[in-house]
A and B are shown apart, each in its own frame.
Chain A
Amino acid sequence: MGLYLLSFILFLVGLYGVLVKRNIVKIILGSGIMGYAVNLFLILIAYRSAGTFPIFLPGREPGLMVDPLPQALVLTSIVIELGVTALLVALAVNIHKHYGTLDVRKVRRLKE
């Protein structure tokens, strides 16, 4: 239970970063932290204590195994986050080029 709580706290840290920080790079890092908290959560729900790795080997009784499906999900989700982060960084570079700042308070050319 403690581990679940810790991954939830990590999630909240990420959310705090996204909502409160003013620097665009810190916002991007916050969204990354949020993603990793969820990845940790997915790995946690798959874990069986004293379970072995989820691979069949010839001549070996599998016994209790760790659930392999969420691990596959996490791999996919890492790739997706990589894509989104790359796009966010590209946008941040362009924002810096056009506005000359990374402070979100000064990036306000859209009409209110």
Chain B
Amino acid sequence: MIASYFIIIPLLSGFILAMSGKRDRFVELVALISTSLLLFLSVLLFPVINAYGPVFYQLSGWKIPYTISLVIDNLSAFVLFVISLIAFFSTLYSIGYMRRFQALNNYYALLMLMIAGLNGVTITGDLFNLFVFMEVSLIATYALVAFQGEPEHYEAAFKYAILGSISSTLILFGIGCVYSMVSSLTLMQISLKTNGMPSLYLAYGLFLTGFGLKASMFPFHSWLPDAHPSAPSPVSAMLSGVLIKVLGVYSIIRVFFMVFQESKVVLDVLLVFGTITMVIGAIMAVGQRDIKRMLGFSSVSQMGYILFSLGLGTPLGILGAVYHMLNHAILKGTLFLDAGAIETAEGTRDFENMAGRSGKTVYVSTLMASLGISGVPPFGGFFSKLIIIMAAIYARKYSYALIALTVSVITMAYYLKMLKKTFPTMNARAKIPVSMKITLIILSILTIATAVLFIPAVRDITLNKVVECITDRAVYGSLFKAGGNP
């Protein structure tokens, strides 16, 4: 039963919010209660999975493959936790930040719809259902990108929506190809049936393009630096922190590592295009003056790291990718929320014109997150990059390791430049709402706290289980039989 609550809670609260009119306090309370419930449930999942194995839910009493199933294994539980964590903090931050806008109930309702879609993508056990939930979250996202209502926001939303609908169409095309080959849409059954089948290269290409576009992989990265900065800051944190990872990377992991047979071609594509994404994002970020736009390009670059690490294909590489997903969600979430606070204090996003009015809290949390994302030792970001580079070296891809190292240095350079321009003085005192400050402080602490996961004893009970879940494709297929099927 626990699986269905991850969709019921945000959808129900979204409905209540959409109906509730302009009662700001009530709207904020409902949103906060629902996201904190989700966070609580997602933490609860870990002991449940440890004790009873993957959680299964089959809709309306039918047995798979005749029904849609919800499956939560270790990978889903991990991603659900990341979504709930960032969603909770975004909502908390929104209370202080969103007060200047009208129609708050619509904003929170769209946010809840987006969370429902993301949770659905993560826990579904059905290929077409994955597509449907993806569309649910994307439609909410298009509206959120345009939420601030300036001309350039509509422009960014339109660009994003067109590219998003192209990629969705490609994914649907791929689903059609897969269905015509295996006559099934249940992911676990496809995983069993494609054993020993010739590779479905057409479907691979369609899925890789579709999910790659959503993950902003190299030839398709141009929408991200427009779309993500245009949204309100808490939503940017959700988009860069979670959405591209769930719709892009999580779907790639699920489909290419756990459902289809591992294919050398796909891994090579991920490796090469991941590296190019990493380099292009970093180079483009150097010349930016708009703080949120720079963070957008930085997201492209960090997504490159994750894809590159997946492309190595070794368990260590997958560990690096999973660990970096968590770190980047927290770090980029913090940075976008910081950017929102800076914008509130300064009234501009162009850091060439900033006077340093943002105050100490914002400065310290921006500093911590910047150092974390550029890979400076005590922070979590350092350890995940270390694992990625070590994985590249163990896989004998020395030149790739060198590129990853260089990009890390470039990242450091543009973040330090941003810090220097944004905070020229430290004596000013800005009025930043309490809820924003609390969020920034907690998230900054989390940027260091994730380093704990590098300790082998802790890693064994957390991240390594996720990696085992990804690498062991046979187990995922055998879940099909465990799900009540004779």
Task: Mark each residue of chain B from 243 to 269: 1 if its CB lies under 8 Å from any CB of chain A, else 0.
Answer: 000000000000000000000000000
Please tell me if the beta carbons of A111 and B139 are within 8 angstroms of each other in the complex.
Answer: no
Known: A76-B132, A107-B155. A34 touches B162 (CB 8 A): no
Beta-carbon contact of A34 and B166 below 8 Å: yes
Tell me the minimal C-beta distance from B357 to chain A in angstroms.
23
A-chain residues with CB within 8 Å of residue B175 when the two chains form the complex: 73
Docked-complex contact B165 and A94, CB < 8 angstroms: no
Which of A14, A31, A45, A94 sits near B176, CB closer than 8 Å? A45
Further 8 A-B residue pairs, CB within 8 A, beyond A34-B166, A84-B139: A15-B166, A24-B158, A31-B165, A42-B179, A84-B161, A84-B165, A95-B158, A110-B155
CA distance A92 to B157 in the complex (A): 10
Is B152 at the interface (CB under 8 A from chain A)? yes
The answer to whether B162 and A31 have CB atoms under 8 Å apart is yes
Interface: B293 (CB within 8 A): yes
- Mark each residue of chain B from 140 to 168: 1 if its CB lies under 8 Å from any CB of chain A, else 0: 00110010001110111110011001101
A-B contact pairs, 23 of them (CB 8 A): A18-B162, A35-B169, A41-B173, A41-B176, A45-B179, A67-B183, A70-B179, A73-B175, A80-B132, A83-B135, A84-B138, A84-B139, A87-B143, A88-B161, A88-B162, A88-B165, A91-B157, A91-B158, A95-B151, A95-B154, A107-B155, A109-B151, A111-B293
Distance (whole angstroms) from the CB of B353 to the closest CB of chain A: 15
User: In the complex, which residue of chain A has the Cβ closest to the Cβ of B150?
Assistant: A98
Partner of B146, one of A18, A24, A91: A91
Name B30-85 residues within 8 Å CB distance of A: none
A111 touches B290 (CB 8 A): yes
Contacts of B293 in A (CB 8 A): 111
How far, in angstroms, from A70 to B176 measured CA to CA in the complex? 8
Report the bound CA distance from A77 to B132 in whole Å: 8
Residues of chain B with a CB closer than 8 A to A111's CB: 290, 293
A35 contacts B146, C-beta separation under 8 Å: no
Say whether B400 faces chain A, with CB atoms less than 8 Å apart: no
> A109 touching B155 by the CB < 8 A rule?
yes
Closest to B163 in A: A18
Report A-chain residues with C-beta under 8 Å of the C-beta of B156.
110
Is B345 at the interface (CB under 8 A from chain A)? no
In this assembly, does A99 line the interface, its C-beta being within 8 Å of a C-beta of chain B? yes
Report the bound CA distance from A95 to B158 in whole Å: 9
Count of chain A residues with Cβ under 8 Å from any Cβ of B?
35
Residues of the B chain whose Cβ atoms lie less than 8 Å from the Cβ of A15: 166
Partner of B139, one of A18, A35, A83, A95: A83
Q: Is B5 an interface residue (CB 8 A)?
A: no
Residues of A in contact with B (beta carbons under 8 Å apart): 11, 14-15, 18, 24, 27, 31, 34-35, 38, 41-42, 45, 67, 69-70, 73, 76-77, 80, 83-84, 87-88, 91-92, 94-95, 98-99, 107-111
Measured in the bound complex, the distance between the Cα atoms of B179 and A67 in whole Å is 11
Asked whether any CB of chain A lies closer than 8 Å to the CB of B128, the reply is: yes
Is B226 engaged at the interface, CB distance under 8 Å to the other chain? yes
Across the interface, B135 reaches (CB within 8 A) one of A27, A84, A109, namely A84
8 A-B pairs with the lowest CB-CB distances in the bound complex, closest first: A98-B151, A45-B180, A109-B152, A91-B158, A94-B154, A80-B135, A31-B165, A34-B169
Give chain B nearest CB distance to A22 CB in angstroms.
13
A92 with B132: CB separation less than 8 A: no
Determine whether the beta carbon of A38 is less than 8 Å from that of B135: no
Nearest-neighbour CB distance to chain B for A105, whole angstroms, equals 12
- Mostly, the A contact residues are helix
What string of 1s and 0s marks CB contacts (under 8 Å) between B111-148 and chain A?
00000000000000000100010010011001100100
A-B contacts, CB under 8 A, total: 90
Contact A42 B166 (CB under 8 A): no
Instruction: Tell whether, in the assembled complex, residue B162 and residue A27 are in contact, meaning their CB atoms are under 8 Å apart.
Output: yes
CB distance from B298 to the nearest CB of A (A): 16
Chain B contacts for A42, CB-based, 8 A = 172, 176, 179
Q: Closest CB of chain B to A14's CB: distance in Å?
A: 8
Question: Does B185 lie at the interface of the complex (its beta carbon under 8 Å from any beta carbon of A)?
Answer: yes
Quick one: given A38-B172, A76-B128, A98-B151, are A110 and B226 in contact (CB under 8 Å)?
yes
Contact B173 A11 (CB under 8 A): yes
- Chain A nearest CB, measured from B236 CB (Å): 15
User: A112 to chain B: closest CB distance in Å?
Assistant: 10
Q: What 1/0 flags go to B352-390 for Cβ under 8 Å of A? A: 000000000000000000000000000000000000000
Nearest CB of A to B287, in Å: 10
Report the nearest A residue to B180, measured CB to CB: A45
Smallest beta-carbon distance B42→chain A, Å: 27
* CA distance in complex: A82, B154 (Å): 19
CA distance A76 to B173 in the complex (A): 14
Closest residue of A by beta carbon distance from B230: A110
Shortest distance between the CB of B223 and any CB in chain A (Å): 11
Chain A residue contacts of B166, Cβ below 8 A: 15, 18, 31, 34
* B161 contact from A41, A77, A87, A99, Cβ within 8 A: A87
CA A31 – CA B160 in complex, angstroms?
A: 13
Complex formed: what's the CA distance from A83 to B138 in Å? 11
Q: A98-B151, A109-B151 are in contact. Are A92 and B179 (CB under 8 A)?
A: no
B155, B168, B179, B226: the one contacting A95 at CB < 8 Å is B155
> Which residues of the partner chain B approach A76 to less than 8 Å between Cβ atoms?
128, 132
Q: Are B154 and A38 in contact (CB under 8 A)?
A: no
